[in-house]
Amino acid sequence: MDTKLERGTQIVYRPSHYSGDTFDYLTGVQPGFVTSGPDNEGAYFCRYWIVKDKKVVNELRTKAGSESTPIVNISVLETVPQEWVEQALEEWC
């Protein structure tokens, strides 16, 4: 990915073992958004949503801090209303 991701960009984390064209939450793919980055190694800090019964819910998986995510494991994809992201950024980041 050549584009610099901005704060609030919705993403999905795709594990290194994942090779599918579509994503399935049972394979470890996680929906989330960028909070900051990139760092010196090209990783972004991201927050991830909780997934229940294969659906994304308006609750963060962790509220303690963002997770470093290598750019090679990130795909840009909107999975929730952008208002959820804006609210989470304001409240937790």
Rounded CA separation 68/55 (Å): 23
Report phi then psi at 70, rounded to 5.
-60, 140
Instruction: Tell me the residue range of the domain where 50 lies.
Output: 10-92
Start-to-end CA distance of the chain, whole Å, equals 25
Average pLDDT over residues 14-33: 74
Buried/exposed code over 13-50 (b: 16+ C-beta within 10 A; e: otherwise): bbeeeeeeeebebeeebbbbbbbebbeeeebbbbbbbe
Q: How many domains does the chain have?
A: 1
More confident residue, 72 or 1: 72
- 1 domain-assigned: no
The pLDDT of residue 19 is above 90: no
Average pLDDT over residues 15-26: 65
- 23 domain-assigned: yes
Supply the pTM of this predicted model.
Answer: 0.88
- 51 domain-assigned: yes
For residue 58, the model assigns a pLDDT of 93
